[in-house]
Structure 1
Amino acid sequence: MNVIMDSWYMMRRNLSHIVRSPFIIAINLVQPILWMLLFSTVFANIVHMPGFAASSYIDFLSPGIVVMSTLMAGSYAGMGIIADYKQGVLNRFLVTPVHRSFIIIGSLVQNVVTLVIQSFMMIGIALIMGARFEGGISGIALLILCSVLLGIAFGALSIALAITIRKEEGLTSAVAFSTMPLLFMSGLFMPLQFVPGWMQIVASLNPVNWAIEAGRGALTANNDGNILFYIAYLLIFAIIAIYLAVYAFKRYQRSV
């Protein structure tokens, strides 16, 4: 029971910042929206290539942009931890009865709430722009699941890095250095059968590509069994990332 209460308290505390500053979600959506507008226009005629998987490029692109929005939001989750550290809040939590691990878990639960909201907003924008999701409600639900799992994983890694380096500049540099290659080394903009073989190998090991391929497959009328494997990979990745975040916090606690 204490575990549930600790998680609820930390989630509510972190969520209050979003309620007071809802523009944070809007800021996280600016880049994905711009990318959707730009690339859906630039690559509109690419669907005429033989073997292209969709009849409309916005149908092909939009699941990946939803994934991108949660990736970017999750990757900056550590900024809140750095702010708490600099204000002394993190150390004050250590003398409260809250279970130490759930200081981190509560932050991730709050991240889940914001990621789900962002996913729905991006899906709504995609529909307004003309995207059509043949997979229906179940397909949209699977897309959101994959997007949130990826966001949680990168949120946990961001928190682990934030606790370790404790500097905003270091975290933002690491996010910029890692997220762009991961996005471009995936099937976000182009079906993987159209890219060089070495990129296909890299994409097969890329968690961002797992989420994109699973989400895109869930939204098609004829999806294959690979979706469940991708979801399993994402779940394992998220569990490992959460463990690393909790471990990093325990190391920080011992250093205080």
Structure 2
Amino acid sequence: MTTTAVRPIDPGARSGATRSRATGLGELTRHSAYLTARSVRALLRQPAFAVLTLVQPAIWLLLFGQLFRATAQLPGFADGRQTYLEFLAPGVVVMTALFSSGWAGTVYIDDMQRGVMDRFLASPVRRGAMMAGTLVYQGLTTLFQTAVVLVIAVASGARFDGGAAGWAVTALAACLVSVVVASLSNALALLLRQQEALIGISQFVVLPLQFLSSALMDTRLAPSWVGDVARYNPVDWAVVASREALSASTDWGLVWPRLGLLAGLALVMAWLATRAFGTYQRSL
């Protein structure tokens, strides 16, 4: 009868693998930070663009808040707990993140047209960092936009009794929506490589997501099929979680499951978008 010797585990090999993973994570973090800083510098060189991104949500908030103010008096609307401005503000926050991130892929197309994308892909820069850099930038932009929209709402008379926790949940929900939509936009840019096609498809996706949610209207007052669709709509997950967190008597059972779904979807979309780099390279 023969026996097989068991080879002892080499502690050095194990520690080498651990160091390799740590080095890889360090490179990913470092490259992501560099690319995020690149996007931020590009934005700071165009301050007018940063200001213009806040004009539209301010108009939505102030115009719609006054135009549909009487909506809050409808029986059953938001259970009578909120004014329409307080109901609308979280919706405008998420809508702003939605529209802003829908244009994220145009940066990739600009890089393709100038040859920057090909130079990045030929360099040691990690593909995950190229995606993470744009997504972190979108998240930072969304944080700033969220703060401005909520400050305008408060200055206009809205009260958010959820306090700092409510503001934090609203910012997190908006950032997660931004990651989901920006990942889709980046993936479309890598697959289509045409700005017109990207913009057309982004609008085709973004507008239904907005109107088939409770961003502007309580879905209980809409046709029943709208409420059925909204249950599977990530925009509605973000709006409901934000609105509930900002309210005086927060039902966290409505908040945490929706944030969890948004986080899971954001991770999946970011992974799929990163995979699109391979398709782009094979098509060259």
Instruction: Give the shorter-chain TM-score range.
Output: over 0.9
Spell out the pairing of 1:35-50 with structure 2 (5 A cutoff).
35-50=60-75
CA offsets per residue over residues 62-103 of structure 1, 9 Å max, x none?
011011111111111101000000000000112222112211
CA offsets per residue over residues 193-222 of structure 1, 9 Å max, x none?
111111110111111101000000000111
One-letter code aligned to 2:151 = G
Shift of residue 165 of structure 1?
0.8
Structure 2 SS opposite 1:94: helix
After superposing the two structures, state which structure 1 stretch, 54-63 or 208-217, moved more.
Answer: 54-63
Structure 2 SS opposite 1:164: helix
Shift of residue 51 of structure 1?
2.2
Runs of 4 or more consecutive aligned structure 1 residues displaced over 4 Å after TM superposition:
none
Tell me if the contact between 1:47 and 1:57 (Cα under 8 Å) persists in the aligned partners. Answer: yes
Corresponding residue for 1:8?
A: 33
Identical-pair percentage: 38
Pick 1 or 2: higher relative contact order, CA cutoff 8 A, min separation 6. Answer: 1
One-letter code aligned to 2:76 = G
CA distance in 1, matches of 2:110, 2:213: 32
Corresponding residue for 1:120?
A: 147
CA distance in 1, matches of 2:263, 2:141: 19
Q: Which runs of 5+ in 1 are unaligned?
A: none
**Residue of structure 2 aligned with 1:206, choices 224, 233, 240:** 233
**Residue of structure 2 aligned with 1:250, choices 278, 281, 284:** 278
CA offsets per residue over residues 140-170 of structure 1, 9 Å max, x none?
0000000010011101100000111111111
Once superposed, what is the RMSD of the aligned Cα atoms? 1.2
Corresponding residue for 1:19?
A: 44
Shift of residue 105 of structure 1?
1.3
Corresponding residue for 1:56?
A: 83
Q: Which runs of 5+ in 2 are unaligned?
A: 1-25
* Bigger radius of gyration among the two: 2
Paired positions, count: 256
Shift of residue 187 of structure 1?
0.6
**Residue of structure 1 aligned with 2:162, choices 106, 130, 135:** 135
**Residue of structure 1 aligned with 2:118, choices 91, 111, 127:** 91
Structure 1 SS opposite 2:122: coil
CA distance in 1, matches of 2:135, 2:82: 37
Structure 1 SS opposite 2:266: helix
Corresponding residue for 2:133?
A: 106
Shift of residue 125 of structure 1?
1.4
Give TM-score scaled by structure 2 length: 0.87
